[in-house]
Chains A and B, each alone.
Chain A
Amino acid sequence: MLSRVAASFYWLSRYVERSDGILRMLKINYASSQDAIHGFTWDPVIGIFAGGDYELAGKLQNDSRAVIKYMVSDKENQNSIISIVTMARENARSVQEHISTDLWQCLNEYYHTVKDINLGVRFKKEDPISVLDVLIKQVMLYYGTAEVTMERGPGRSFMNIGKYLERAIQSIDVLMIKFNSISDNPDLITDTTYWKHLLLSLGGYEIYLKTYRDGLEAQNVLEQVILNNDFPRSVIYSVDHIQRYFNRLQNDSSLSAYQEVSFYIGKLQSRIKYTPLKTLQGAALHEFLTGIKDELYQIGNLLNERYFANS
Chain B
Amino acid sequence: MQESDFFNGYKAISNVWDEMYASNLAVRSPYERVIDYLALESVEDLNKKEELAQRLFMKQGITFTVYNSGEGIEKIFPFDIIPRIITSAEWDFVEKGIKQRLTALNLFLKDIYHNQFIVKDNIVPIDVIYSCPHFLREMYQVGVPYDIYVHIAGIDLIRDENGDFLVLEDNLRTPSGVSYMLENREITKRLFPDLLPSCGVRGVNEYPTLLYKNLQSLSPRQISNPTVVLLSPGIYNSAYFEHTTLARLMGVELVEGRDLVVNNQKVYMKTTIGLQQVDVIYRRVDDEFLDPLVFKPESILGVAGIMGAYRKGNVAIVNAIGNGVADDKAIYSYVPDMIRYYLNEEPILKNVPTYRLSNPDAREFVFANINKMVVKKTNESGGYGMLMGHAASEQEIERYKQEILKAPRNFIAQPTIALSTAPCYIQGKLQPRRIDLRPYALCGPSGIEIVPGGLTRVALKEGSLVVNSSQGGGSKDTWVLTPPSPKGEVTKI
Is the A/B pair a real complex?
Answer: yes
- Which A residues are in CB contact (< 8 Å) with B254? 97
B246-282 vs A, CB cutoff 8 Å, 1 = contact: the mask equals 0110000111101100000000011111100000000
- The answer to whether B271 and A2 touch across the interface, beta carbons within 8 angstroms, is yes
- The answer to whether B248 and A97 touch across the interface, beta carbons within 8 angstroms, is yes
- CA–CA, A251 and B254, complex, Å: 21
Main secondary structure of the interface of B (DSSP, over half): mixed
Contact of A105 among B60, B247, B253, B274 (CB under 8 A): B60
- CA–CA, A37 and B415, complex, Å: 81
- The answer to whether B58 and A112 touch across the interface, beta carbons within 8 angstroms, is yes
A65-107 vs B, CB cutoff 8 Å, 1 = contact: the mask equals 0000000000000000000000000100110110001001100
Measured between C-beta atoms, what is the minimum distance from A285 to chain B in Å?
37
- The answer to whether A108 and B272 touch across the interface, beta carbons within 8 angstroms, is no
Decide if A120 is an interface residue (CB 8 Å cutoff). Answer: no
Contact of B61 among A2, A104, A249, A309 (CB under 8 A): A104
- Which B residues are in CB contact (< 8 Å) with A251? 273
**Given A2-B255, A97-B248: A253 touches B272 (CB 8 Å cut-off):** yes
Decide if B59 is an interface residue (CB 8 Å cutoff). Answer: yes
- The answer to whether A94 and B259 touch across the interface, beta carbons within 8 angstroms, is no
- CA–CA, A253 and B273, complex, Å: 4
- Which B residues are in CB contact (< 8 Å) with A6? 272
- CA–CA, A179 and B240, complex, Å: 47
Chain B, Cβ-Cβ closest to A6: B272
Measured between C-beta atoms, what is the minimum distance from B76 to chain A in Å?
12
**Given A105-B59, A252-B273: A90 touches B235 (CB 8 Å cut-off):** yes
- Which A residues are in CB contact (< 8 Å) with B274? 254
Contact of A1 among B60, B240, B272 (CB under 8 A): B272
Measured between C-beta atoms, what is the minimum distance from B63 to chain A in Å?
9
Measured between C-beta atoms, what is the minimum distance from A216 to chain B in Å?
45
Decide if B171 is an interface residue (CB 8 Å cutoff). Answer: no
The size of the chain A interface, using a CB distance under 8 A, is 25
- The answer to whether A2 and B235 touch across the interface, beta carbons within 8 angstroms, is no
- Which A residues are in CB contact (< 8 Å) with B259? 2-4
Interface footprint category on B? 20 to 34
**Given A3-B259, A3-B270, A4-B258: A97 touches B61 (CB 8 Å cut-off):** no
- The answer to whether A254 and B248 touch across the interface, beta carbons within 8 angstroms, is no
- CA–CA, A251 and B274, complex, Å: 12
Decide if A53 is an interface residue (CB 8 Å cutoff). Answer: no
Measured between C-beta atoms, what is the minimum distance from B337 to chain A in Å?
43
Decide if A208 is an interface residue (CB 8 Å cutoff). Answer: no
Measured between C-beta atoms, what is the minimum distance from A23 to chain B in Å?
22
Residues in B174-221 with C-beta less than 8 Å from chain A: none
Chain A, Cβ-Cβ closest to B258: A4
Chain B, Cβ-Cβ closest to A257: B272
- The answer to whether A3 and B272 touch across the interface, beta carbons within 8 angstroms, is yes
Decide if A109 is an interface residue (CB 8 Å cutoff). Answer: yes
Chain B, Cβ-Cβ closest to A106: B59
Give the interface centre of A1, A97, A254 by most chain B CB atoms within 10 Å: A97
- CA–CA, A203 and B486, complex, Å: 71
A101-129 vs B, CB cutoff 8 Å, 1 = contact: the mask equals 10011001100100000000000000000
Give the interface centre of B245, B255, B258, B270 by most chain A CB atoms within 10 Å: B270
- CA–CA, A154 and B273, complex, Å: 11
- Which A residues are in CB contact (< 8 Å) with B271? 1-3, 252
- The answer to whether B272 and A307 touch across the interface, beta carbons within 8 angstroms, is yes
Chain A, Cβ-Cβ closest to B251: A97
- Which B residues are in CB contact (< 8 Å) with A3? 259, 270-272
Chain A, Cβ-Cβ closest to B60: A105
Chain A, Cβ-Cβ closest to B247: A97
Decide if B244 is an interface residue (CB 8 Å cutoff). Answer: yes
Measured between C-beta atoms, what is the minimum distance from A105 to chain B in Å?
6
Chain A residues within 8 Å of B, Cβ to Cβ: 1-6, 90, 93-94, 96-97, 101, 104-105, 108-109, 112, 154, 249, 251-254, 307, 309
Q: Please name 9 pairs of A and B residues whose Cβ atoms are closer than 8 Å in the assembled complex, sorted by A.
A: A3-B259, A4-B258, A4-B270, A94-B235, A97-B254, A101-B60, A105-B59, A108-B60, A154-B272
The 10 A-B residue pairs with the shortest CB-CB distance in the complex, in nearest-first order: A97-B248, A96-B244, A97-B247, A309-B270, A3-B270, A97-B244, A307-B272, A108-B61, A93-B235, A252-B272
Q: A5-B253, A97-B247 are in contact. List 20 more A-B contacts (CB 8 A).
A: A2-B259, A2-B269, A2-B270, A3-B259, A3-B271, A4-B256, A4-B258, A4-B270, A94-B235, A96-B61, A97-B244, A104-B61, A105-B59, A105-B60, A105-B61, A108-B59, A108-B61, A249-B272, A252-B273, A254-B273
